Amino acid sequence: MAATHGEYRGYLRNTVDVEAGEHRFHPVQSSETTYRPLLFGTLAVMGLLQVASSVAILLHLTGYLQEVDLSTAPHRPIEEVQTEPVLNALRDPRRKGRCKPSREVLPSAHLPISTKEYYPSNHKAMVVAWDPEPQYRNRMGYADDKLQVLVSGFYYIYTKFCFRYYSPTPPPGGESNTQLIHYVYHESIKQNSKATLLMKAGSTMRLNVTTYNMYCTQQGRGVRLDEGDALLVKVSNAWMLDREGEGTYFGAIKLGN
DSSP string, the chain: -HHHHHHHHHHHH-HHHHHHSPPSSPPPPPTHHHHHHHHHHHHHHHHHHHHHHHHHHHHHHHTSS----TTTS----HHHHHHHHHHHHHH-TTSTTSPPPP-PPPPEEEEEBPSS----SSSS-EEPPB---GGGEESEEEETTEEEE-S-EEEEEEEEEEEEEE-SSPPTTS-EEEEEEEEEEEEEGGGTTEEEEEEEEEEEEEE-SSSEEEEEEEEEEEEEE-TT-EEEEEETTGGGB---TTTSEEEEEEEE-
Task: Give 141's pLDDT tier (boundaries 50, 70, 90).
Answer: very high
In terms of Cβ atoms closer than 10 Å to its own Cβ (0-12, 13-18, 19+), residue 115 is exposed
What pLDDT, on a 0 to 100 scale, did the predictor assign at position 96? 52
What pLDDT, on a 0 to 100 scale, did the predictor assign at position 40? 72
> Could you tell me what percent of the chain has a pLDDT over 70?
61
pLDDT-wise least confident of 62-66, 85-89, 122-126, 231-235: 85-89
Angle 219-191-188 from CA coordinates, rounded to 5°? 35
pLDDT-wise least confident of 79-83, 141-145, 146-150: 79-83
What pLDDT, on a 0 to 100 scale, did the predictor assign at position 168? 66
Task: Report residue 51 CA to chain centroid gap.
Answer: 46
Task: Report residue 146 CA to chain centroid gap.
Answer: 36
When pLDDT is averaged across residues 222-251 and rounded to a whole number, the result is 94
Task: Give 11's pLDDT tier (boundaries 50, 70, 90).
Answer: very low
pLDDT above 90 for 56: no
What's the CA gap between 13 and 7, in Å, rounded?
10
Q: Tens digit of pLDDT for each residue in 194-208?
A: 899 999 999 888 777
Task: Give 139's pLDDT tier (boundaries 50, 70, 90).
Answer: very high
- The closest alpha carbon to 120, from 248, 241, 210, 212, belongs to 241
When pLDDT is averaged across residues 10-32 and rounded to a whole number, the result is 49
Task: Give 52's pLDDT tier (boundaries 50, 70, 90).
Answer: confident
Task: Give 158's pLDDT tier (boundaries 50, 70, 90).
Answer: very high
Quote the mean pLDDT of the chain. Answer: 76
pLDDT above 80 for 138: yes
In terms of Cβ atoms closer than 10 Å to its own Cβ (0-12, 13-18, 19+), residue 149 is buried
What pLDDT, on a 0 to 100 scale, did the predictor assign at position 87? 47
What's the CA gap between 226 and 241, in Å, rounded?
31
- Please state whether the predicted TM-score (pTM) of the whole model is above 0.95: no
What pLDDT, on a 0 to 100 scale, did the predictor assign at position 81? 42
When pLDDT is averaged across residues 217-224 and rounded to a whole number, the result is 95
